[in-house]
Chains A and B, each alone.
Chain A
């Protein structure tokens, strides 16, 4: 399966031709509708009440149409003008904005009762210009989104990550911004039907259950791992503080008597927390001593 995010930036990929093609394709339509329904189900808005919902990456309004059907008032943002044009032609009810979600939102705090996004946030992981930094853009996106949602509320993202690294990067950024929640993987054992939903929550709430062919499975390993990881980072910080406190005054910048292995591990840790790609994994060969030739 080809991945559009690897071809060109979203506003260019979804040009006039692709936008009409996308919206006319019945297969795309039905899959989008299905995922939107599921996202709405996970969003768990109070029944029979009109809510104010944000549709992130609304595109041509395929998901918006369902929001209209449910009777919600919604605001859609997208970066592709052609897609928005198609949405206008289709006369959806929501307000549309041309907006780069990586630049953050300007909505007032507590505006929305919920947010959904179908097949969008994987685009945020691309650096389409030299000034784009995916971790930074993710951060900005999640922090501003967090503040524009009311408490308690949810934001549901369906997305297609290309690797586990991408998942952990997104989950990390969301947690940094203050969201709770985690991943819900529907049909984890099917290659085709498998769908990932990131359920982010403002305030204390429980993670919804995933749909499985036979039994129900919630991917909690991620949040658990994250918990462990954060613990490690906290410990590392404390350790650093302790050592710096004990050695303050005497030691200068070039700290020579630090163990090289420790130093390398520290650097790697730092790169990982910053979300740098391609940090080598730790093994018994990490920072080993080389043979002395001569």
Chain B
């Protein structure tokens, strides 16, 4: 149940991992599409929080090409709908999220990512 909206907010939290710790890259992904009620107004308000390049890259790595390379200045309804689909309806059920900085792997099983760290990885 990792939606891309959450993934776009998630950075690696291993101790001293500050470089390249966002976004976590997916691998061996099992994707499920679950329709969600549209709330375009929420999406619109959420835009400033998004990291667009990270989102586009991730969406492409998951095989969704609907998003444009650069963030549109003016949003048409179709574009917002495409964004809604990417953010809210694509769920990663199984797979791994890997930090490109420190290489920590967060496994996702049954839709729940395991974010637990080993004792030596916990920051102070």
Contact = CB atoms under 8 A, between A and B. Distances in A.
B115 A50 contact: no
Given A94-B1, A111-B9, A129-B119, 17 more contacts: A50-B41, A52-B5, A75-B9, A88-B110, A88-B111, A95-B1, A95-B2, A97-B113, A98-B114, A104-B123, A106-B21, A107-B11, A108-B51, A111-B49, A131-B119, A136-B124, A144-B13
Contacts of B119: 129, 131
Given A95-B3, A103-B122, A108 B115 contact: no
Interface of B: 1-3, 5-6, 9-13, 21-22, 36, 39, 41-42, 45-46, 49, 51, 88, 110-117, 119, 122-124
B117 A103 contact: yes
B89 to A, nearest CB: 12
Given A98-B112, A98-B115, A140-B124, A73 B9 contact: no
B110 A75 contact: no
B10 A77 contact: no
A161 interface: no
Contacts of B124: 136, 139-140
Contacts of A129: 119
A131 B121 CA distance: 12
18 contacts: A49-B42, A50-B41, A52-B5, A52-B49, A71-B39, A95-B1, A97-B112, A98-B116, A99-B115, A100-B115, A100-B116, A106-B11, A106-B115, A107-B11, A129-B119, A131-B119, A136-B124, A140-B124
A40 interface: no
Interface of A: 49-50, 52, 71, 73, 75, 77, 79, 81, 84-85, 88, 93-100, 103-108, 110-111, 129, 131, 136, 139-140, 144
Contacts of B117: 100, 103
Given A100-B117, A103-B116, A52 B46 contact: yes
